[in-house]
Amino acid sequence: MKINTAEFKISSARLDQCPATMIPEYAFIGRSNVGKSSLINMLTGRSALAKTSSTPGKTLLINHFIINDEWFLVDLPGYGFAKRSKKEREELRKMIERYVTRREQLTNLFVLIDSRLRPQTIDLEFIRFLGEAGVPFSIIFTKADKNKRGVLKSNVQGFLATLKEEWEELPPYFISSSTSKLGREDILNYIEQINGSLQQDEAI
C-alpha cells in the first residue's frame, strides 16, 4: 500500500464524539512508552503526524487520521501509565474499553508490544480482555532495532509461547522498527488486504 495522504481529522474524549462515518478504522494501542507515535509516523511517512514525546502517557484522546481518504488510522491512549491519578486511569480505561468493544467501525486493533521486554502481565491481561470481548486484533512487536543479537527472537518467541498457553490460535503478528522501517510494508499490506476483503463483501 502506498500512503498518498495522511491528515489529522479529530480528537475525541468520548466514543460519541468519534466521526459518524462507516469508514474502516485501524486502531493502535499499547502500554505507555511502547513507541506508538513513532510507529504511526513511520507507517504514514509523516514525521510529525502523531506527536512523539519522551514522557509516557501523552496521548489522552482518541485521535483519528484519515489515510488516502479511504480508512482511518486511530491513535488510542496507552494503558498502564502508573503516574496518573486513580480517577484518571479509570477514565482512560473506560474510554479505551468503550471504543474497542462498541465502535462498529473498528476493523482491527493493533496491540503494540515492546520487543525488548519479557512478557508483561499488563499486556497479557489486555490481550486476554480482547479475546473475551471478541475484538479483532493483531500484535506489533516494536523497537526491534534496539535489541541485542538473539534477544529479539527470544523475546518474541517467549511472548508467543506464553499466549499459546491460553490461545488455540495465535493472532497475526509483525515485527517493527520505526528507525529502520522494518515491518512497514507488511503492516500496510495487511491493512490493504483487509480493506480489499471488505470491499468484496460489500459488492456481493
User: Helix (H, G, I), strand (E, B), or coil: what is residue 119?
Assistant: coil
Domain assignment present for residue 67? The answer is yes
Domain assignment present for residue 37? The answer is yes
Count of domains observed in the chain: 1
Per-residue pLDDT at 60 exceeds 60: yes
Domain assignment present for residue 62? The answer is yes
pTM (two decimals):
0.93
Residue 54 structural domain: 6-198
> 78: which residues sit within 8 A by CB, 6+ positions away?
29, 30, 31, 32, 33, 34, 36, 56, 57, 59
- pLDDT above 90 as % of the chain: 79
Domain assignment present for residue 203? The answer is no
Q: pLDDT grade, residue 54 (50/70/90)?
A: very low
Please tell me the distance from the alpha carbon of residue 159 to that of residue 121, in angstroms, as a whole number: 11
Please tell me the distance from the alpha carbon of residue 203 to that of residue 131, in angstroms, as a whole number: 29
Domain assignment present for residue 164? The answer is yes
Domain assignment present for residue 162? The answer is yes
24 in Cβ contact with 17 (< 8 Å): no
At 37, which CATH number?
3.40.50.300
Domain assignment present for residue 111? The answer is yes
- Separation of first and last alpha carbons in the chain: 24
Q: The C-alpha cell of 41 is what?
A: 509516523
Least confident of 14-23, 55-64, 166-175: 55-64
Domain assignment present for residue 188? The answer is yes
- Angle at alpha carbon of residue 59, lines to 140 and 73, rounded to 5°: 50
